[in-house]
Structure formats: structure tokens, C-alpha cells
Amino acid sequence: MTAPTDTVTAVYKVSGMSCGHCEGAVSGEISQLDGVSSVKAIASSGEVTVVSAAPLDEEAVRAAVDEAGFELVGRA
């Protein structure tokens, strides 16, 4: 999948995800942030790829991950 050139793709490391339900919880919270067009969480690697219209505030992403019950480690 190729992202359009007017978007920003960021990869974050999230600890604690172990299954599809975890992926869905994290994706669901992050997808509610303004400007986010897609979220792909992968429990096995702990990586969450976020495509958005503009760079996201890392604290907003951290809050969304916390709301899902997991911990944002940082950018991958």
C-alpha cells in the first residue's frame, strides 16, 4: 500500500499488545485522533503504523495508547 504524498506516516512502538483484540483497541483509539486516515497495529512486533494528514503530537498518540490500556514506548 502506498500512501498519498500529502500524508505523513509514522511508526510507533507499543508495549503490551499480544493479540488481535489488543491491535484493535490500540488502532481504535489512535484512529480517533484528528487527521488520522489509517492505523495498522501488529502485536507480534509491537509496531503501530499511523498515516495522517500532518505530523501527530506524540503526547496525543501516547494518551490514545494509554486509553487503550497499553504503553507507548516511542517512535520506531
Contact present, 37 and 48 (Cβ < 8 Å): no
pTM: 0.91
Domain range summary for the chain, segments of one domain joined by +: 8-75
**Tens digits of per-residue pLDDT, 9-65?**
999 999 999 999 999 999 999 999 999 999 999 999 999 999 999 999 999 999 999
**So what's the pLDDT on residue 6?**
86
Options 3.30.70.100, 3.30.160.270, 3.40.50.12780, 3.40.50.150; which CATH number does 8-75 get?
Answer: 3.30.70.100
Task: Tell me the C-alpha distance between 33 and 18, whole Å.
Answer: 23
CB atoms within 10 A of CB 76: 13
**Tens digits of per-residue pLDDT, 3-15?**
556 899 999 999 9
